[in-house]
């Protein structure tokens, strides 16, 4: 940080008396909703955790979610902004039997932390009021440190494999053939590093998402939501097999399935509302992840897989939102004036 010279002006756009902009309202609202959900989920996980290191992570995750929501509530009160309902103790039964093994909690925390970071990182360059920008920087920094703790536990307990190793280049290799883009037939090149990391990340996200969804599918009460969850499971499993195959063809390992970490319990610890919102939100976050993957992928076969997955996810999210609306469970983010 010492490389940067300090800026000696105090722009009016940073004045705390300035009203909240649409950017700030939207990001604060989304952060509040996500963390109010996490509070209920993690509170239940803590009821069934025997490993001390994993309990430490759950307690840290819960503390961060409570801290972020309390800070946002303070901002909303000062700005006379209605505090969202979000999720409450009515959405969780802390006395329900264990649904997941301790190991799953660590994978879940990593997925949730990555989702949070993507939200906070986008907010930092868009939010102009200094106190609000500092809040999202704070959220991002806390989550970055937390992710480091999560990865340390994952590696120490051998819950995940070492990232793939590829040869160190022995010189500068310029791309001079159009065949670099091929992927279906002909002269197909090996995967490059950025393609490997995004395939790995998408597999890691999807095995966690599918495991969470497997548990939800066991316990959900509404049959329409249950059918949607089954569709999500089938869709995710199909995509996972295709992504894994791209790595395995080149003898590169991939993150393992985690379905064995779901117990046989059918007693619901969560309300249908929080489970449906969670999965719609989780699948919506995948859209951003696959968009990032498309931006750095040059092989057309992998591009095709991502685009097809994005289409399927879009349909799943749309159907999930329709159910949330029909049930009266969906709160609206802040919106512009209706001038029509």
Q: What is the pLDDT of residues 105-141, one digit of tens each?
A: 999 999 999 999 999 999 999 999 999 999 999 999 9
d(CA 163, CA 196): 10
CB 301 within 8 A of CB 249: no
Tokens 């950017």 sit at which residue? 23
Q: What is the pLDDT of residues 267-279, one digit of tens each?
A: 999 999 999 999 9
At residue 152, the pLDDT reads 97
327, burial (CB in 10 Å: exposed 0-12, middle 13-18, buried 19+): middle
pLDDT at 12 over 70: no
pLDDT band at 31 (very low <50, low <70, confident <90, very high): very high
For the chain, the structural domain boundaries read 22-157, 188-327
At residue 188, the pLDDT reads 82
> What is the average pLDDT across 152-177?
87
CATH for 188-327 is 1.20.1260.10
End-to-end CA distance of the chain: give it in Å, rounded.
Answer: 48
Maximum distance among all Cα pairs of the chain, rounded to whole angstroms: 63
Please determine whether the domains at 22-157 and 188-327 fall in the same fold group of CATH.
yes
> Regarding the domain delimited by 22-157, which CATH topology (the fold level of the hierarchy) does it fall under?
Ferritin (1.20.1260)
């Amino acid at each position: 940080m010492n490389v940067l010279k300090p800026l000696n002006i105090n722009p009016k756009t940073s004045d705390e008396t300035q009203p909240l902009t649409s950017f700030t309202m939207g990001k604060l609202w989304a952060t509040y909703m996500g963390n109010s959900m996490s509070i209920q989920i993690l509170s239940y996980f803590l009821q069934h955790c025997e490993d001390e290191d994993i309990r430490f992570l759950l307690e840290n995750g819960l503390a961060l979610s409570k801290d972020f929501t309390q800070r946002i509530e303070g901002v909303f009160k000062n700005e006379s902004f209605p505090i969202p309902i979000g999720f409450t103790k009515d959405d969780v039964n802390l006395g329900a039997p264990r649904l997941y093994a301790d190991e799953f909690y660590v994978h879940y925390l990593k997925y949730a932390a990555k989702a949070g970071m993507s939200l906070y990182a986008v907010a930092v360059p868009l939010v102009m009021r200094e106190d609000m920008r500092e809040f999202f920087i704070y959220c991002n920094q806390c989550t970055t440190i937390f992710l480091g703790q999560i990865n340390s536990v994952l590696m120490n307990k051998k819950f995940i494999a070492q990232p793939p190793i590829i040869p160190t280049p022995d010189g500068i290799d310029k791309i001079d053939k159009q065949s670099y883009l091929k992927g279906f037939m002909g002269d197909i090149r090996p995967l490059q590093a950025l393609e490997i990391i995004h395939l790995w990340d998408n597999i890691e996200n999807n095995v966690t998402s599918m495991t969470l969804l497997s548990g939800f599918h066991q316990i959900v009460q509404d049959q329409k939501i249950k059918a949607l969850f089954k569709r999500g499971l089938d869709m995710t499993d199909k995509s996972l097999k295709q992504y894994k195959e791209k790595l395995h063809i080149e003898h590169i390992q991939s993150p393992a399935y985690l379905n064995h970490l779901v117990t046989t319990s059918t007693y619901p610890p969560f309300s249908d509302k929080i489970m449906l919102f969670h999965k719609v939100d989780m699948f919506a976050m995948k859209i951003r992840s696959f968009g990032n993957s498309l931006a750095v992928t040059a092989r057309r076969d992998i591009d095709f897989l991502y685009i097809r997955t994005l289409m399927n996810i879009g349909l799943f999210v749309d159907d999930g939102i329709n159910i949330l609306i029909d049930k009266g469970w969906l709160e609206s983010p802040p919106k512009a004036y209706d001038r029509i």
